[in-house]
Amino acid sequence: MAREIRLPEGYHVVWGGSFENMERALGLIKIIVPITIVVIFLLLLSSFSSIKQAALIILNLPFALIGGIVALWVTGEYLSVPASVGFINLFGVAVLNGIVLVSYMNSLAGRRGWALSRQ
């Protein structure tokens, strides 16, 4: 838009308001989400004492992301700050489901006397 409109000398175009707030929030989310995923992985690693099991749980996140993107596309919505918060919630649900599944698997293996690899 700034290229198409000729402004008098000394004037310039600045995006502000909601757009500026959204840009700032999305920039912050791009930093916080990867750090959070690493911290969650480290917590899972300390809880399960297994890189394989922690990685199995974290590998749920790309599948959740694909499902969320498809849901946005089907509903005709776009990626906004509320949608980004929804993705963070989605990641939490995906990690929690993975924790429940791996914990149950460990419980079943323990009851049957199977030794699981803790690598």
Residue extents of the structural domains in the chain: 18-112
- Residue 69 has a pLDDT of 92
Structure tokens at 38: 């690493």
DSSP string, 43-89: HHHHHH--HHHHHHHHTHHHHHHHHHHHHHHHHT----HHHHHHHHH
119 pLDDT more than 60: no
Measured at the alpha carbon of residue 53, what is the angle toward residues 87 and 116, in degrees to the nearest 5?
A: 155
Is the Cβ–Cβ distance between 118 and 49 less than 8 Å?
yes
User: What is the tens place of the pLDDT at every residue in 93-102?
Assistant: 999 999 999 9
The predicted model scores a pTM of 0.69
- Residue 39 has a pLDDT of 94
Residue 1 class from Cβ within 10 Å (0-12 exposed, 13-18 middle, 19+ buried)?
A: exposed
Q: Diameter of the chain by CA atoms? A: 80
- Residue 116 has a pLDDT of 66
Q: DSSP letter at 35? A: H
